[in-house]
Structure 1
């Protein structure tokens, strides 16, 4: 396994390119005599992420963050615009081609209690992407179990945990299982939608440390969705502020958090003092595993 992220070449195209993304939803009719109304959850969102880097998308509830995550994951179709991963427009791929491409981008959800099936063992949960995406074609169950044991070690758990069920773990450990499930296909991109917001503050730091280590060892690219500026400050190289479906400000955390120019960004900073504007620590003191 690689222990260092791939070197970036000059003028290398971005791993992920989102261009002019629009998502409009039609609201239910209030009556038969009125035309249906609509609302734009996203209004022309554009950004790029280079391989091996992390972009944080921040904003309040209703700003369009989760809609953006669903579109990047090709779980929903945009009204306009495109999402390109390694030059491929995900929304123009055939179902078979999209299934094949999915091994290169995975998602970690917000709630580790809700994202893991309580009726399945950890082995079944972690190896599910291998079979669902047909990555495991020609791979025996023993080989798939061995791969699952390897990724469990990487996230700080033991291979003997494969036979357990989600209820036997703490919240932080469950999120580690969710990360292992995303990691098993060795994706280039992981979309993390509020991955630590359901965890205690001390456990949040542990999970963020883990995500940093995985990025260092495997060159993973993150798109991190969060409302917490402290979390984004901890993990991300760049930040984009989403407000009413539009990116209103973007830049490095050091600069953005110390010299925000948009009133909405300034309001976010005032509301979350623990973000410590202008004081960023990319590699905080490591804490013990959850």
Structure 2
């Protein structure tokens, strides 16, 4: 369904007058720096990594909520980076996003029913006001907000965090999209509510035949919903594989460190913790060669000078000089 080729997003840093006068070169935050991957129809592709690794930026680029610096995003054989504004607006009902913070995503002055119905009006779905209201009511019931009449006329501040997130999910799915980006969709909720919403997403994916990009920093949740996992570090994909491969036999040293940090539910089982050295480097001036080499316990001399390419290795992809 989706093919991403060498996707790049560099954010320019605002220069001061002094820097302009002294001709200091323009600097950029290299948020996403040459990312390539594919998502098959019906698949849930998990994108994991530390904060600042470029996960959210990648998700927003896929929907063209922000414009890429370069690269291709091919959605069902259409390169959406080449679509003009009006073409993109019509095309956009095919893909939607579930934001991390529902309170920031919802208009505090707009009633819940109007917020969900707004997308139907923009894309001219439904023959009139009553039919659109009926579609909204059905979606509210589908995300377990019953009775729907009670929620239709409420404002966001009158709901709990879990209820607001269900509203954001309903707003995304009422357009019947083919592809959904879930950006840390359950990160801000209590553990009990988180499990309920994760189960809801699994059911909605099945019922609506959805394809997901599931962005998270919590590796433990990916094994319940993801078919495939991509691991990001400092704007680069360092490993892609099936969730069983990633969990049972991680290849990249950074992936091994992430897996070792996942809590073990059985206290009798002891797991060796791998803690990378130092801090995440500055994305304005990332390290030469492999970006993980300053923190990697297995780094060699070649890692400092030559950037490893994402290569096929035993049915998955890894970017590491240990697997040439």
TM-score normalised per structure 1: 0.86
2:87 alignment counterpart:
97
Among 1, 16, 20, the alignment partner of 2:2 is 16
* In 1: Cα distance, 2:265 partner to 2:11 partner: 33
Among 225, 232, 248, the alignment partner of 2:222 is 232
By how many angstroms is 1:216 displaced? 1.0
Bigger CA radius of gyration = 2
Answering whether residue 145 of structure 2 is matched by residue 150 of structure 1, we say no
By how many angstroms is 1:167 displaced? 2.1
CA offset digits 1:176-207 (Å, max 9, x no partner): 11100000110000001000000001111100
Alignment of 1:164-179 (within 5 A): 164-179=154-169
* In 2: Cα distance, 1:170 partner to 1:224 partner: 23
1:85 alignment counterpart:
75
* In 2: Cα distance, 1:274 partner to 1:184 partner: 38
By how many angstroms is 1:254 displaced? 1.1
Among 112, 124, 128, the alignment partner of 2:102 is 112
Alignment of 1:119-138 (within 5 A): 119-132=109-122, 134-136=123-125
Change (3 A) 1:140 1:275: farther
Which stretch shows the higher mean deviation, 86-95 or 192-201?
A: 86-95
Secondary structure of 1:224's counterpart equals: strand
2:40 alignment counterpart:
50
Answering whether residue 22 of structure 2 is matched by residue 36 of structure 1, we say no
2:211 alignment counterpart:
221
RMSD: 1.7
By how many angstroms is 1:135 displaced? 2.9
CA offset digits 1:64-93 (Å, max 9, x no partner): 111101101101111111111111111111
Q: Conserved in 2, the CA contact under 8 Å of 1:19 and 1:81?
A: yes
Answering whether residue 228 of structure 2 is matched by residue 242 of structure 1, we say no
By how many angstroms is 1:274 displaced? 5.3
Q: Conserved in 2, the CA contact under 8 Å of 1:269 and 1:275?
A: no
By how many angstroms is 1:275 displaced? 8.9
* In 2: Cα distance, 1:67 partner to 1:123 partner: 29
By how many angstroms is 1:272 displaced? 2.5
* In 1: Cα distance, 2:101 partner to 2:262 partner: 22
Q: Which runs of 5+ in 2 are unaligned?
A: 267-324
TM-score normalised per structure 2: 0.77
By how many angstroms is 1:38 displaced? 2.1
Answering whether residue 259 of structure 2 is matched by residue 273 of structure 1, we say no
Change (3 A) 1:110 1:273: same
Secondary structure of 1:23's counterpart equals: strand
Change (3 A) 1:20 1:274: farther
Change (3 A) 1:167 1:26: closer
Which stretch shows the higher mean deviation, 187-196 or 38-47?
A: 38-47
Q: Conserved in 2, the CA contact under 8 Å of 1:82 and 1:89?
A: yes
Kindly indicate whether structure 1 or structure 2 has the higher relative contact order, using CA contacts under 8 Å at least 6 residues apart: 1
Answering whether residue 178 of structure 2 is matched by residue 188 of structure 1, we say yes
